[in-house]
Structure 1
Amino acid sequence: MPLNYSKWDQLELSDDSDIEGHPNVDKKSLIRWKQRDIHEKREVRRQNIARLNAQIACDNILLTRIKEIYNTLSDPAPSTPTTAYFNALVERLEKNPSRDCPPGSNPDKFEQTYDGMLFSLVKQVGEEARHRVKEAGTLEAERDEKITKHLATSIGGHVTGLEKTIEKNVAELASEEKEQKKHITMDDLHDGFESKYVPPPPEPAPVPHAKIDKGKGKTTTTTTQFEVLNPKAAAAEAEDDGDDTDDDSLPELTPSLEAFSKIPVRAYEKSFEFIQSHRDVIIPGASDALLVAAFRAQSAGKAKYAKQCVHQSLLLQYCEKLGKDGVRVFFRKMIAADARAESVFVNDMEGTYQHLVERVNVSLKEQSESTGQEQIQLVPENPNQTISFNVPDGPPPEEIQLEGPQAETLDIEEVRKALQFRWDVFEAFPVDFQEALKTNELDAVNKVLGELDVDTAESIVKQLDMAGILSFAEGGIRDETNQGKETTVE
């Protein structure tokens, strides 16, 4: 077989043969300068590639959210005023922002999160729209229509601009990666033959399986069934085993897997260190045991721990799929904050978790239907969030005083319309549901919702969200409209 030596053409050499300098300059110094120049350019290119990958990933996420806002402004729902929707959006981003942020950013710093970036944009767009309408001397009857038009036009311009920026960065990234592949670097070198041999330690035992008691005779029992997220693997195991008792068992967490499941999401360095010191984590059935634990935790309302179990299960699955050296390859990319690799993994993890949440909800619904009851309940999807209610005391007063850092940028008439809309929706609710809302207790609200039929309860929940009464934090408009009180906007 002929040998291929073309790869050596990619070597970037800097020895005596390719250095031509001035006779009065030391040749060794010229060689060192040449080497330093090569390494400096290589490092700048590597940093630029990492920056472009991170920027493109961040911009793609922001583009999706901005497009969603633009579509809502361009084709608003007839039941919700566009200005009320936009004001509610600004209020949510400011008062109850998500901590999601690009890899490497600090989630505790608002301006580094996705919601923080989006808030800066919509705040600027809203101020510009109100300023233009005010300068144009628009009539009060045409005010909302003009503001809506300016908002849609401005957001559409940002969508177009961000798309061009992403296209430019993608082209620059392709150029940089093409230039990088022209030369062989230390990252492309691998270990050769090893002269020493150390026998591997014995393989750890697979995860234990808990037997599910079927009962004796004709006794009727109620059991919880767990959906297998990897049906093909489960079917293969069932065919290999031939024992009927294995079909009635579920993988259980070992002490090491239980400790592994408690590592926070995206703490890749801790997970890598744990795997290195606990070889019994990489065993057959470990990922399935973690998924079973996630299902149980989600069913018990422990959403944060359930998500951690899903995250750790997928870590093991990815390491297995990457082959014999999969653990090192996977964690090297994750710890180095490879934007593309981490984006694929995080999206897979979020999708798997959402699928698990849906299956848990279906399971709980089936259990409820088996008892003849079907209910609509309010449950926060994010374990770090709590549900509260912005309950109005009455219609907006004749005089409204605006206070706080945003007072100058808010329009009194828009605030009045938002408060009136909230009050009208609240008054239309049943009396017992109004009383439950006034307690500001989630259990009291869920109790009333559980007594209503599904269609009525779903309609009420939509109205709560539309009017800004349903909130995952204290709202920006605090309604204190008792007689003699003023309304304060923070």
Structure 2
Amino acid sequence: MPVDYSKWDALELSDDSDIEVHPNVDKRSFIRAKQSQIHQERQQRKLQIEAYRYENVIHDGLLERLSAMTASLRRHASEARGSADDAAADVALKALLETNPGPTADAVPPRPEGLQGDGSAPATYSQMLAGLIDEVAQRLGEKKEAERYDALIGELEGHAKKIQRLQKETAEKLDKLVKEEGKKITSDDIHTGFDSSHVSKPAPAEKKDAASTDVQLLNPNFAASGGSPAASSKGGADGDEEDMEASAAAKRFALIPVKDYAASLQYISQNPQILTERETDGLLVLAFDAALERKDDYSRQCVHQALLLQYCRALGKDGVGLFFRRITTKGHQAQEVFYKDVQDTYMRIRNRSREILAERAQGAAEEGVEQIQLHAVEPGTVIQIKVPAADSQDGDERKAREIFEGFSPEMKKALESGDLDQVNKVLGGMKVDEAEEMVALFGEPSSRVSAPSSSRPLLGRIHSSWFWYGAASSDADDIGPRPEVGVDTADTLRRRLLLQMLASSVVLLASSVVQAALAAASSSERALPQEQPSSSSSSSSPATSPDGVAAATAAAAAACNNSPTLCGRRYDAVTYMGAHDSAFLRDGSTHDSLSGNQFRNATDALDAGLRLLQTQVHRNGSALDMCHSACGLLDAGPLQAWLSSIGAWMARHPREVVTLVLVNAAKAPAADYASVFEAAGLAGMAYRPPSSDAAAAAAWPTLQAMIGSGGRLVTFVTNMERAASAPYLLPEFDHVFETPYQVTSADGFNCTVDRPARADPAPGALAGGYLSLVNHFKYSRVMAGVDVPDLASVDEVNSPAAAAPGNLGRHLQQCRSEWAKAPNFVLVDFWTRGDPVAALDAMNGISDATGRSAVGGGVAERRRLGHGSLVAFVSAALVLV
């Protein structure tokens, strides 16, 4: 029988191949060059095959997401077609939220080894879909608003068909390469055809006599080990307890507001490692610790976030997406179950913590154990120690040195070490009376603050030449004034200590007299003169002389809106600086949300001199919440709570006139707002025009008259008719016109009337009794139809200068020139940046500002946050608005 050698025809060129080459060419070199070429082509072909296969996997995942999105949009199409335009966006948001598969399924599979990328490829399917939506948005802008929902479905289905065609083409190319790869036999094709092994079994053991009664132990080494099950269990439990602390990522997750499910979902998507039982237990421990410190709100928030993680795990593989779909579906039964579980768990923790606190208080009373210790309250804050110099010429320092020389050797050594722990160690080993006397020597006897007889004496201050306070960072500012020539040292030091305590920098704690310390600090605060800042919001100088203190106090008592000059002016003759979207923060509480417009809250803005606050109001179930565009995007909580904080601030500042602008996105009637104002205690402070007629109502009183009458809160509301039952709720566009607000370039600011459309041009509108509102905030466009507050240029935009286009000072001067009248209201973003209050004082022409708090931008406010990636369902909702 002839031998068939045809299978060897598939062999590639080898070292011993019998081939003919040109006589002038070295045969060995030719074979090696040919082998190198073959190997390169083979490697390139393999990489191409892997690339096509990887591309198919990506397309399969993207096509699955697109199909789910279009199916969900079609299910909700009837609901969207029967709704208003803004409601259609909410329907789209709800529909697309249902398609979110969770963080595990959203991640794009990793590239096969050997495939190189340019680094710009999206890491998740949501980022891919965001880019696709960006492309779709450009075409949707040409459609009528009523047709955009159906057009969105059509565009997504069209892209799905394109992906299917591309998959078909890729499959054909892949088949061709695979066939070509199989034509040749290579070393990669070598595999084990068959294999076998044999292990000899040991001979069977001899059977024991049936009458034997020997007991076979399951653990024959138990007695030798000397251990006990109880000890082992205890050791394991201790190890578990040590592992129950929440990680840093979980602690950041606990800071997300309970109602901001969009932020929670985004955070879990970026940090899926927190979906473990250990993190749930750690957050519950954190909740218990917060309850022990009586931080009930934070404790409840930790419980909510802990159970959120637990439910996501319990719901299985797709538990994250399933949980958020159910919890965000209005009226879903899962909401009641989850919220009840959160409340029950929180109440158990709270009740137990109260029992423990009561037991501790009782035990301390019975045992009478006390210690005097020095502690820093805030992490990163240190108490530094300096021993008075022996050769100092300063009288106070020489006196301090004499006291130091009288200390025990142990205390002297501890103070010279500069280590606070060493000082506390010496104090802890002393009796309480002795320790108090020792610490009392740090200060002068005349400066002690006496406490009730039921508690120990509390030291009012510590000698400044021994101890001072500061943050651990190198750029920490000195808090409080230093002693000056001619100023009583004891009073200056006492004021300095008080300012440090008020700034939460550091406080001296004696465990047995905490309540006495708080009472003493409160009384000292009322007794001390207050520092009065200059007219600029970015700097302040303390009035240290008695005459200066008296003058500043008198000026503050006579001021209206931080200036005595403004008291005699009519309300419509004053300029008010305002915080745009004041309730929506970009900080840790919102996970640095790109939608946030401010770094500081509303009461901080009032402290700094702003007297206008604007926010958006949406329906969240039956409640009125402050939501940014949609409650699923950024929910700042109930309107009533926000108003209550403003009412509390106004009660503390009886000579301030405040204005609110509420964007009534909920289109709620006046009666709904009136009930919220009544519950917040603001109805009694509200200004009521003397007449319901808009022209008559334009006869505004002076600020002094408003303060005297008690009606010093002016409230404008959009999308609402005037109601006789709530005359203090003024329809905004019956009284106010606004300049354009969708500005994306520095030269886009102008002074034309944008809203209401019925208003005359600015000079005529002002003559007709309208008030003017200048919108001066800039957006950054991150994709078609999606704008976010522009943080990168905020220092230039909020600058009081008039040198460059986009400067706040330049915009206000332009409007005053065109209108022959200064603007009444100005809205800015990130008011802590750029010093907009200086521009306010320039418009009002005042230099006697008083009573403002200096609030500067911190490190967190000055960093530029990246835009990150916008998920597809948010983008889709925004392009429909």
Whether these two folds match at TM > 0.5 is no
TM-score (norm 2): 0.24
Q: Which has the higher strand share?
A: 2
Larger Rg: 2
Q: Which has the higher helix share?
A: 1
TM-score (norm 1): 0.40
